[in-house]
Amino acid sequence: MGQVGGKVFRTVEWAPGRANGRVYYPQTLLSSTDIPEDVKERARALLDDCTKSSVGAYSPSNGLFIVRHAVAEYISARDGVASSPEDIYMGSGASDVIKAVLTMFIEEVDGKPPELGIAQADYYLEENSNWALTTAELERSWHQASERHNVRALVVINPGNPTGQVLTRQNIEDIIKFAKHRNLFILADEVYQENIVSKPFYSFKKVMAEMGHPYSKMELASFVTLSKGWSAECGLRSGYVELVRLNPDVEQAFRTTRAVMQCPTVLGQCALHCVFSQELNHIHCVLTERTKTAFETFNSIPGYFCNELDGSMFAYPRVEIPERAQQAAKQHEMSPDEFYCWQLLEMTEMQHAKVAVL
Ligand SMILES: Cc1ncc(COP(=O)(O)O)c(C=O)c1O
């Protein structure tokens, strides 16, 4: 969407960077008058935490302390619930840590083997209730999956991809109660939390804490990434998971597994540190404006319906295909949606993925 990255972000990213193929100590850059003082200060702080002041050296496998500390401060301020740098594990994007957390569930339970490591049990959101996730649907999915598997974890993407909704606080409470009742570990994919334009964001961690006992004692993994939210710098591969109240033995095993892969890219970690700056407000304003345009544009097209966009960079509109177009599709021996996609491609050269046919 042409969003321009922030000044602090862009400059610091360069300051401790690479030149002529070798990682170097950026003394020249750090004394340059072309670089703003606040940027130099941040670059110095980051370099001070790097082994031998170089981004070319390994960091601790869970990430640079300065970055994990900044993340923990951000989370504490967001939730009003304390967060510890020791619970933060940096990764090469959120995918890296999501995969790492999922591997904790690959084991036989009560004699039922997991298929291909892990099996997926789908649940569906309700479009007519602004893509809410209902307990009834979760129960349906749980019962179906439990016939063949031990259901161990519940993955919730909030704000949603591709539906762009933000769960209400009540909805999150219901999901937490369901997870407690069914003894499920919640993986909260909260990577779009900074992309919200119209509603408050409630993290699972905050809601669990505020619900009190026994929910405030539940384990949780929450994921965030540099690929979304603040700056969408997905190529830098940086993200983190906060593991909350993890069983100490499991946490030790997780830590050991992460240590084997050395560390995520240090430049990516430095970039994540830079998002915690004043420039976020501007990014929010641009996003709000563009989300409104997308919502209004979709709903102005005849036959289109789109729920109001709460955030997360996605719109998930529905298209009604008229009777005449359905007849034409038949004549071309195509399904109506396939016919629609071809027409769209031929008339506008716009590519359209066939997602769901109702
Ligand atoms: C909901 C969600 N979670 C996680 C990811 C992974 O992001 P990353 O680039 O940090 O691996 C994506 C990427 O599109 C996503 O949409």
Atom of ligand 1 nearest to the CA of 161: 1
Give the pLDDT score at 184.
96
The finding on whether 189 has its CB within 6 A of some atom of ligand 1 is: yes
H/E segment holding residue 101: helix 94-102
List pLDDT tens digits, range 212-255: 999 999 999 999 999 887 677 888 899 999 999 999 989 998 99
Q: What pairing do the DSSP bridges indicate for beta strands 220-225 and 185-189?
A: parallel
Span from the CA of 71 to the centroid of ligand 1 (angstroms):
18
Residue matched to tokens 């560390």: 263
Give the pLDDT score at 279.
63
The finding on whether 227 has its CB within 6 A of some atom of ligand 1 is: yes
The finding on whether 239 has its CB within 6 A of some atom of ligand 1 is: yes
Span from the CA of 161 to the centroid of ligand 1 (angstroms):
9
Q: What is the pLDDT along the chain (358 residues), one digit of tens a residue?
A: 445 555 555 555 555 544 333 344 456 777 788 888 888 888 889 999 998 888 889 999 999 999 999 999 999 998 999 999 999 999 999 999 999 999 888 766 666 655 446 888 999 999 988 888 999 999 999 999 999 888 999 999 999 998 888 999 999 999 999 999 999 999 999 999 988 877 889 999 999 999 999 999 999 999 999 988 767 788 889 999 999 999 998 999 899 989 988 999 999 999 999 887 656 666 777 777 888 888 899 999 988 999 888 876 788 888 898 999 999 999 999 999 899 888 888 888 777 665 554 4
Span from the CA of 111 to the centroid of ligand 1 (angstroms):
33
The finding on whether 233 has its CB within 6 A of some atom of ligand 1 is: no
Q: What angle do CA 173, 193, 138 make, to 5 degrees?
A: 35
Atom of ligand 1 nearest to the CA of 234: 9
Two tokens, residue 20 = 């002529």
The finding on whether 191 has its CB within 6 A of some atom of ligand 1 is: yes
Span from the CA of 315 to the centroid of ligand 1 (angstroms):
16
Span from the CA of 100 to the centroid of ligand 1 (angstroms):
14
The protein residue with its alpha carbon nearest to ligand 1, atom 16, reads: 161
Give the pLDDT score at 292.
84
How many CB atoms neighbour CB 316 within 10 A? 19
Give the pLDDT score at 114.
54
The finding on whether 93 has its CB within 6 A of some atom of ligand 1 is: yes
Longest dimension (CA), the chain: 71
The packing angle between helices 204-211 and 169-181, to 10°, is 70
Task: Let me know how long the chain is.
Answer: 358
Give the fold, CATH level 3, of 7-274.
Aspartate Aminotransferase; domain 2 (3.40.640)
- The answer to whether 208 and 218 are in contact (CB under 8 A) is yes
Residue matched to tokens 């369901």: 178
Atom of ligand 1 nearest to the CA of 91: 10
Span from the CA of 274 to the centroid of ligand 1 (angstroms):
19
CA distances, 170 to each of 48, 176, 177, 179, 221 (Å): 44, 10, 11, 14, 20
Domain boundaries, the chain: 7-274
Q: Bridge-partner residues for 220, per DSSP?
A: 186, 244
Ligand 1 pocket, mutate which of 89, 165, 191 (most atoms under 8 A from CB):
191
Closest of 207, 231, 90, 227 to residue 156, by C-alpha:
207
Give the pLDDT score at 352.
66
Phi, psi (rounded to 5 degrees) for 88: -100, 130
Give the pLDDT score at 19.
37
The finding on whether 280 has its CB within 6 A of some atom of ligand 1 is: no
List pLDDT tens digits, range 135-151: 999 999 999 999 988 89
Strands annotated E in the chain = 18-19, 22-23, 88-91, 153-157, 185-189, 220-225, 239-244, 304-305, 318-319
pTM: 0.81
The finding on whether 161 has its CB within 6 A of some atom of ligand 1 is: yes
